């Protein structure tokens, strides 16, 4: 398994050479959000679509 530093380096190297600082940071943040979501899913910390629809409707009131 790779280290965090190796994973970040791989993600950065995968970006186009003309990427801006903001684009690279955005990609790193996106990757972190995906990893957190997968960890939550594995730990069964999820919300059903129906429950989320109810929550959104409550926010819109």
DSSP string, 1-61: ---HHHHHHHHHHTS-TT--HHHHHHHHHHHHHHHHHHHHHHTT----HHHHHHHHHHHT-
State residue 6 phi and psi, 5-degree precision: -65, -40
Predicted confidence at residue 12, as pLDDT, reads: 97
Predicted confidence at residue 1, as pLDDT, reads: 73
Positions of the chain with pLDDT lower than 50, given as ranges = none
Predicted confidence at residue 26, as pLDDT, reads: 97
Helix 21-42 to helix 4-13 angle, to the nearest 10 degrees? 130
Predicted confidence at residue 59, as pLDDT, reads: 95
34 HSE (CA, 13 A, CB side): 6
Predicted confidence at residue 2, as pLDDT, reads: 86
pTM here is: 0.73
Predicted confidence at residue 5, as pLDDT, reads: 94
């Amino acid at each position: 398994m790779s280290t965090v530093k190796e994973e970040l380096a791989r993600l950065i190297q995968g970006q186009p050479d003309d990427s801006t600082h903001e684009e690279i940071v955005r990609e790193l943040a996106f990757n972190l959000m995906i990893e957190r979501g997968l960890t939550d899913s594995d730990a069964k910390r999820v919300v059903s679509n129906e429950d989320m629809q109810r929550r959104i409707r409550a926010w819109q009131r």
